Structure 1
């Protein structure tokens, strides 16, 4: 499956392109941005990581999107559905450049990605795998209506992280969306 393009008020979620490498390398090269997503890596490692995320679309029929800021056309991160081998569930995750933090972009993009995953992938639940020390992502998961489902294990080499799964069912998501739009 080819990635669709999803537009929100301020964002474009689209397939990963090789032209995204500069932004991807910036994301993975910054200790604060990369802290909870596998750690800092050099540009060549960032390219391989980007290729793995892009390849998920061919292998699984879904994957993370590149996040582009509409007003500038700037690549600002990656987010969307993710479930590599050994993953603890059907995740919608997010990682944005530090310069894009605090603007509500992660919530806006994650909402669109969760809607897309439930509508197009037939998922019955969505999780967010979050390090217990990642307070901003925990706050976002709560804002999205997810609850702490407890500790979960990641496959090696990520098994060293102390993570919890935050999540909700499709029915919970739809009920919350209906209540907020009423």
Structure 2
């Protein structure tokens, strides 16, 4: 089975499937204690490699996964974002992680808008969620900007069962209404 060749372009970004050349920046993100605190915790490079392989594996097995988020002008890997559905997860997630040097620039909202459109159109999802640590105010702001609202608390599957998780989300209809209102 070969992976699809998907390239989604936004004003500043390219979303594409993960490639081995993305790994060095991914390892930097996962190795940064502060940047990785909301995405399972920091890992040394060897363990980061195994975590990195989750997304290509998801694409191969499920037919979808998070996209690599690339700066259109520089070609630099900024992070990952998009559809994600591990076994036992509380819903069809649209998640993300960004390298520290990409924070605060609106990349998450821009990338996830394109990823949500793709997931609803291509995967046929009728709703989606964002799983967010209660203390992660930046991700709650992103979810809110996307039109998602707090739906309740959830328990994630092991090994994350002891990590509190807020579920934010919306339906396809709510997303379409949000997109129409934005123009």
Q: TM-score, normalised by structure 2?
A: 0.97
Say whether 1:137 aligns with 2:161.
Answer: no
Distance apart, 1:147 and its partner CA: 0.4
The CA deviation at 1:3 is 5.1
Structure 1 residue runs without a partner (length 5+): none
* Matched position secondary structure for 1:13: strand
Residue deviations 1:128-182 (CA, integer Å, cap 9, x gap):
000000000001101100000010111111112111110000000001111211x
Distance, in Å, in 1 between the alignment partners of 2:126 and 2:106 is 26
Aligned residue among 109, 120, 123 for 2:122: 120
Q: Partner of 2:180 in structure 1?
A: 178
Between the aligned partners of 1:41 and 1:128, the Cα distance in structure 2 is: 23
Distance in 2 between the 1:4 and 1:88 partners? 26
CA contact (8 A) 1:3 1:62 kept: no
Distance 2:7 2:59 in 1: 13
> CA separation in 2, counterparts of 1:149 and 1:127?
9
Instruction: Find the aligned partners of 1:59 and 1:3 in 2 and give their Cα distance.
Output: 15
**Count, aligned residues:** 181
Q: TM-score, normalised by structure 1?
A: 0.97
Equivalent residue runs for 1:52-67 within 5 Å = 52-67=54-69
Q: Distance in 2 between matches of 1:71 and 1:160?
A: 41
Q: Aligned to 1:12, which of 8, 11, 14?
A: 14
Alignment of 1:66-77 (within 5 A): 66-77=68-79
Preserved contact between residue 129 and residue 164 of structure 1 (Cα < 8 Å): yes
Q: CA deviation at 1:58?
A: 1.1
Cα RMSD over matched residues? 0.8
Cα separation, 2, equivalents of 1:179 and 1:136: 23
Whether 1:104 and 2:106 are equivalent positions in the alignment is: yes
TM superposition shift of 1:71: 1.5
Kept after mapping to 2: 8 A contact 1:145/1:168: yes
SS at match of 1:138: helix
SS at match of 2:125: coil
Quote the residue 1:84 is aligned against: 86
CA distance in 1, matches of 2:109, 2:24: 24
